[in-house]
Amino acid sequence: MALFDQLHPDWQKTLTEYRPLVTKIDSLINKNDVTPGYESIFAAYQLPPSEIKVAIFGQDPYPTPGYAHGLAFSVSSSTQPLPASLRNIFKELESDCGVKAGSNGDLHRWTNQGVFLLNQVLTTKPKKSLAHEDFGWQEFTQATARVVGESGAIGIFWGSKVQKFAQYFDPALSISSPHPSPLSAYRGFFGSAPFSRTNAMLRAQGKSEINW
């Protein structure tokens, strides 16, 4: 199935003007040498816009073969050891909310509650970070961020590259911090309390909290 056609139908309708861009990116991707796997590139977009309560934006997929599976920061349930960024996310979650890390790193348990997990760049070559940085993904994911922000969702922006997406979100519903990677987590990610702050915002909106 062509890449654009893998989007949820609601996203196809919402982002229809970007079909030519996705078609161009599709032509640049080697289906046998890409991570996440070709059929998982749009995994995040299986959550339709109308169901998004919270959006967490990251920068680019894990380059380690077998790690990325289309949801930012998430890995499949069988992936061990967990990536360092995800370990730091779980460390902050425990510090913030007292929630022990899950038994695995598959964050579908969050998306099932309306959490949209999107990287700014959606693909790369295995073992090479940012290999597809120049493919045009940023235009597509920025358009996505605009749609999500205008819907009134809460935005969480981890890393300086994605903090420009915050322009589309209500400042009162935005949480920005350094990226959770080991290189930057101690510069302000730890202690940023994104999970409890998000649930406080949801309560204020009269919405159900996320069971992190």
Active site residue ranges: 60
CB 47 within 8 A of CB 111: yes
Residue 186's Cβ-count burial label (10 Å; 0-12, 13-18, 19+) is: exposed
Distance CA 200, CA 191 (A): 16
DSSP state of 100: P
Helix, coil or strand: residue 57: strand
CB 175 within 8 A of CB 75: no
Q: At what angle do helices 84-97 and 194-204 cross, to 10 degrees?
A: 60
Instruction: Return the closest-CA partner of residue 163 out of 128, 196, 182, 188.
Output: 188
CA atoms within 13 A on the CB side of 15: 28
